[in-house]
Amino acid sequence: MDEYEQLAEDYGRIERAIRFLEREAPRQPSLGEIAADSGLSEFHFQRLFSRWVGISPKRFLQYLTKEHAKRLLAGSANLLEVSWDAGLSGPGRLHDLFVTCEAVTPAEYRSGGEGVRIGYGFHPTPFGPCLLAVTERGICGLSFVLEGNAESLRRALAKRWPRADLRSEPERTAPLVPRIFPSANLRGAGQEPLHLFVRGTNFQLQVWQALLRIPGGAAASYADIARAIGQPKAARAVGGAVGDNPISFLIPCHRVLRKAGEFGHYGGGPQRKKAILGWESARFDLAAEPAATVSPRGPSGRESSHVL
């Protein structure tokens, strides 16, 4: 079993623990009970979290509370506006993962991807298996697999690019996995940028660009995103665009929370959203990294660069 297969297996137990906590929260179960429900002793439960995220389960579970979500949102009011004006991605970053984002041209959008070859593959990650899709111009899809929905993810990819040449090419997508999900032994520093290639409406593109400005270890509300794109009354429409995000994790829709501090929906499942946010918060706190820069091309451009 390689490192990412192990991390994916670990995530399965993490998700089960989160489900157990959600179900049993009113009676505040002990750590031993949570471990037992995951099929592990308390000792091995500790080792599981140390391997997966680098901290104890007790500390990690603190990141999954509504109180922590509210703390993330507390500093978000001006986060996106400041990042746009100052060219900064915010108070910190998750890791040195440099991302550039390019949108299809209007003509390419109308063509539905005609002439584009898309290779895809299913791969293990620290958050369970994912479908990863790539074109010659960059990553065009990343979706996490829920139990039994792998084929539906492939069909959704084909629907998003109806005229593209879609091929199963896991050997083409596999090398991207350690770059997208750097482990403790493989950080993103010094690597070539990850290029994203997205197909969406102008409104969707504005929202996805705003998501890229939310730094790791932070969060924003739908209303924050709406204000950042200059449409303060469009929070509901923003929610739709967030839900249509074709490249999970890299375009961090998981960092958008409801204003009251509720985690809200997520295409990869609500437990996975909590797990990713907790993982990011833990990694951010452990690394305590300095501010990172963003180099947007500007409102008239189609391409921008970000460090997550």
pLDDT tens for residues 23-43?
998 888 999 999 999 999 999
Co-location of 159 and 242 in the same domain: yes
Inside any domain, residue 308: no
Co-location of 170 and 234 in the same domain: yes
- 101, 130, 140, 253: the active-site residue: 253
Question: Does the pLDDT of residue 157 top 80, yes or no?
Answer: yes
Co-location of 33 and 83 in the same domain: no
* 86-139 pLDDT tens trace: 343 333 333 345 788 999 999 999 999 999 999 999 999 999 999 999 999 999
Co-location of 135 and 261 in the same domain: yes
Q: What is the pLDDT of residue 93?
A: 36
* 217-232 pLDDT tens trace: 889 999 999 999 999 9
Q: How far apart are CA 124 and CA 242, in angstroms?
A: 24
- Other residues' Cβ atoms within 10 Å of the Cβ of residue 65: 15
Write down the residue that tokens 């991302």 correspond to.
99
Q: What is the pLDDT of residue 42?
A: 95
**Number of structural domains in the chain:** 2
* 173-208 pLDDT tens trace: 999 999 999 765 444 444 678 999 999 999 999 999
Co-location of 18 and 147 in the same domain: no
Q: How far apart are CA 220 and CA 214, in angstroms?
A: 7
Co-location of 208 and 228 in the same domain: yes
Domain stop point among 13, 29, 62: 62
What burial class does residue 177 get, using C-beta atoms within 10 Å of its C-beta: 0-12 exposed, 13-18 middle, 19+ buried? middle
Mean pLDDT of all residues in 7-36? 92
Co-location of 48 and 78 in the same domain: no
Q: Please give the share of the chain, as a percent, with pLDDT higher than 90.
A: 63
Q: What is the pLDDT of residue 303?
A: 52
| Domain region containing 176 | 70-302
Assess whether 253 carries a catalytic annotation: yes
